[in-house]
Structure 1
Amino acid sequence: MSTSTVNLNIRMDKNLKANKKTLKAIQNVEEGKSLSRKFNSVSELMEDLNV
């Protein structure tokens, strides 16, 4: 089974203001905190989501 990684670059317009919750989420991602665990398949993810 192969796995893939998706890298996302997210930029905000300097004129937009993010709320505290959004800023904290961005900070957590940049620091590698509060991230979900990795899944080996879509079925595994769906099972974890109880779908």
Structure 2
Amino acid sequence: MAKLREQAETCRRLAGPAGDEEIERRLKALADEYEARAVDSEARDPSNKK
């Protein structure tokens, strides 16, 4: 789960200076997807929560 959250944060960080609205939108959507996958994984296996 930590890796998924790290990926989400990386996408959010890259979205800021992207300089292109479409790239920014896609990176933010990808970050949201990674975050949702992390939440889903934690719900299925709470012992892996970090």
Normalising to structure 1: TM-score of the pair?
Answer: 0.29
Q: Which has the higher helix share?
A: 2
**Larger Rg over CA atoms:** 1
Q: Using structure 2 for the length normalisation, give the TM-score.
A: 0.30
Q: Which protein, 1 or 2, shows the higher relative CO under an 8 Å CA cutoff with sep ≥ 6? A: 2
